[in-house]
């Protein structure tokens, strides 16, 4: 495979088959090969950072056999490679991300607590992989107070007007172009703003909410401008909304094709990779597939 593949992580669960179908569709749309990976966790675990050793030849793997049978029922499946690797999902998949353009996995795999909204492997891969990671949630996630939007495919992305992430927006626009979707950009602002003067004394804000919303929208429009220029065929709409960023993104994600969020940049005071509270909340609650984008170096 000359082009970097889209990796679909499978484990025999229904969640991983949903992720596999999403990965097939994505690889087809990108004109990319597909790499199906089963990490066999019952073998000795791989320590984070250890080199991933691929098996020298075909290994009997019932999970991969089931995947082959599943893909045989589909049409127009991209060129596909199958890998069965012994180790820990949270260590192996991030290492494989260095040789992939995307990793796709389900929100829950086999084992663990079925009541959890997102498994520890999903969190680890989304946090540590060097490429974007898409987590496909189980159906049935409920969303309250979802805004009314025009029907049609949408890619939802959050914009931090005080620290925009070009890698995040570039991925959102590129994926929207692949999927014939529009970009739904959410820019959140705090409201109401409360000012403390003396103990137990709250002063009403002197600022007008309409003015804050207008300024937030103008800043978001300026941030989106170069991406619109680079993707002239992709429609994008900006929504300046009050309140918590995670809540606003989750609400907008109802019936969305994809929701795109970013990871924290590494800093001297926090050198380890971090998801961030907004990204983790979106992973736990958004009803659409969620793409987590690593920051540019």
Q: What is the mean pLDDT of residues 37-56?
A: 60
pLDDT: which is higher, 49 or 142? 142
Residue 136 tokens, joined: 């496909």
Confidence (pLDDT) at 10: 94
Query: What percent of the chain clears pLDDT 90, i.e. is strictly above it?
Result: 60
CATH number of the domain at 154-290, out of 3.10.20.30, 3.30.479.30, 3.90.850.10, 3.40.50.12370?
3.40.50.12370
Q: Is the pLDDT of residue 16 over 70?
A: yes
106-127 tens-digit pLDDT: 986 554 434 334 567 778 899 9
Please give the residue that has the higher pLDDT: either 44 or 127: 127
Residues of the chain with CATH 3.40.50.12370: 154-290
Give the pLDDT score at 87: 87
Choose between 190 and 27: higher pLDDT.
Answer: 27
Considering the entire predicted model, what is its pTM?
A: 0.84
**pLDDT category of residue 200 using cuts at 50, 70 and 90:** low
Local confidence band at 141 (pLDDT 50, 70, 90 cut-offs): confident
* Contacts of 168-172 spanning 24+ positions with Cβ under 8 A: 168/260, 168/261, 168/262, 168/293, 169/223, 169/224, 169/227, 170/227, 170/230, 171/132, 171/260, 171/291, 171/293, 172/260
When pLDDT is averaged across residues 49-66 and rounded to a whole number, the result is 66
Q: What is the mean pLDDT of residues 94-99?
A: 92
pLDDT band at 94 (very low <50, low <70, confident <90, very high): very high
Q: Where in the chain is the domain with CATH 3.40.50.620?
A: 6-136
According to CATH, what is the number of the domain 6-136? 3.40.50.620
| Location of structure tokens 């060097």 | 130
- Sheet holding 133-136: strands in order across? 80-86, 34-40, 6-10, 102-106, 133-136, 290-293, 258-262, 154-159, 182-189, 236-242
pLDDT for residue 63: 92
Mean pLDDT on 225-234? 97
Q: Which long-range contacts (CB under 8 A, 24 or more apart) does 191-199 make?
A: 191/242, 191/243
């Amino acid at each position: 495979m000359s082009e970097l593949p889209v990796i679909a992580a499978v484990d025999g669960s229904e969640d991983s088959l949903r992720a596999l179908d999403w990965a097939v569709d994505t690889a087809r749309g990108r004109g990319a090969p597909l790499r199906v990976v089963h990490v066999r966790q019952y073998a000795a675990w791989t320590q984070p950072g250890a080199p991933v050793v691929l098996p020298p030849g075909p290994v009997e793997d019932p999970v991969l056999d089931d995947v082959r049978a599943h893909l045989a029922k589909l049409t127009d499946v991209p060129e596909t490679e199958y890998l069965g690797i012994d180790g820990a999902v949270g260590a192996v998949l991030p290492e494989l991300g260095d040789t992939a353009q995307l990793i796709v996995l389900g929100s829950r795999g086999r084992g663990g607590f079925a009541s959890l909204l997102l498994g520890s492997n999903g969190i680890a891969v989304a946090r540590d992989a060097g490429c974007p990671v898409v987590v496909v949630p189980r159906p049935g996630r409920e969303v309250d107070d979802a805004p009314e939007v025009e029907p049609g495919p949408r890619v939802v992305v959050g914009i931090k007007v005080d620290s925009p992430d070009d890698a995040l927006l570039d991925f959102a626009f590129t994926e929207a172009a692949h999927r014939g979707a529009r970009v739904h950009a959410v820019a959140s602002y705090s409201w109401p703003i409360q000012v403390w003067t003396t103990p137990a004394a709250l002063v009403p804000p002197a600022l007008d909410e309409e003015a804050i919303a207008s300024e937030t929208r103008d800043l978001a429009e300026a941030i989106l401008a170069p991406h619109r220029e680079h993707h002239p065929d992709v429609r994008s709409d900006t929504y300046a909304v009050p309140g918590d960023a995670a809540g606003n993104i989750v609400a907008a994600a109802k019936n969305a094709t994809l929701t795109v969020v970013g990871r924290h940049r590494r800093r001297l005071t926090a050198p380890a990779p971090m998801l961030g509270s907004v990204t983790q909340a979106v992973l736990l609650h958004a009803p659409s597939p969620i793409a987590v984008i690593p920051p540019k170096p």
